Amino acid sequence: MPSPEEIRAVVTRYLEAMSAGDKEGYVALFAPDATIEDPVGTDVHRGHDEIRAFWDMVHTLSSSITLVPTGPARVAGREVAFPMQAISDVGGSKVVVDIIDVFALDDEGRITSMRAFWDPAEMRPYEG
């Protein structure tokens, strides 16, 4: 089982990969049969091919995305929850939304489940 420090390092790599536009680095964080539900309540994406398709869809909507942690990652067993803001460039305007992501990880420290809690109606202009 990964240690709390190893789990927090996965969170850091996740934030860095998305913010750097590193699609393959992002996908590599996930187990081959992992799921993404982003936001919670929408279709679940399963496996590396669907995770790549999810990445492509997100990056079609936004030319850049920066994920900024807004508090500490909370580890419990093989799971972690962490708050962040996603700052996105959509049509030449920057917007921001508050998100809480929850990951479950396997014995190798790969993400097996990612669930993102946020509401598209809460996106607002970024004033940073």
Question: Kind of pairing, strands 111-117 and 30-37?
Answer: parallel
pLDDT for position 92: 86
43 carries an active-site annotation: no
pLDDT for position 62: 86
With residues binned 3-state (H G I as helix, E B as strand, rest as coil), the percentages for the chain, rounded to 5, are: 30, 40, 25
Query: Annotated catalytic residue: which of 14, 98, 106, 119?
Result: 14
The contacts of residue 8 (CB under 8 Å, 6+ apart) are 73, 75, 80
What is the pTM for the complete model shown?
0.95
Give the domain ranges of the chain.
Answer: 4-120
pLDDT for position 61: 86
Query: Annotated catalytic residue: which of 26, 38, 98, 101?
Result: 38
38 carries an active-site annotation: yes
pLDDT for position 125: 96
For the chain, 128 residues long, the average pLDDT of each consecutive 10-residue run is 97 97 97 98 98 95 92 98 96 94 98 97 93
pLDDT for position 63: 80
Which fold would CATH assign to domain 4-120?
Nuclear Transport Factor 2; Chain: A, (3.10.450)
